[in-house]
Amino acid sequence: MADRLLTVPQVAEEFQVTDQTIRNWIDSGVLPAVRVGRAFRIKRSDVDALLDRARADSNSLATRRDLWAPSDAGLPRRKGRVAADHAIWDADADAVQLTPQ
């Protein structure tokens, strides 16, 4: 039997997100879809596969992460930007010029 095709609103309801979020996932390649006229259709099996990946990711984070260990969990850094290893407060007092000469 062929996969059932779902609309963007049906998939959005299942994931409890907006229609635009589903369209963004389609545009970025996270969720495969086919265009039928001006609308997208998504295979039921692709939705199930995405749900399975999401469950696996959340389970591994919840069960394997040491809550007390430092982590890099946070906002992703922009490409090309170098993270500062120190703050301006850490600069050598002699190297900082506070008054113009």
Of residues 66, 15, 79, the one with CA closest to residue 42: 15
pLDDT computed for residue 53 by the predictor: 84
Q: Which pTM value belongs to this model?
A: 0.56
Q: Which CATH class is domain 5-64?
A: mainly alpha
Measured CA to CA, the distance from residue 83 to residue 30 in angstroms comes to 28
Q: pLDDT tens digits, the chain, 101 residues: what are they?
A: 568 999 999 999 999 999 999 999 999 999 999 999 999 999 999 999 998 887 776 665 555 555 555 555 555 555 555 555 555 555 555 555 555 55
CA-to-CA dists, residue 81 to 4, 25, 76, 92, angstroms: 45, 26, 11, 24
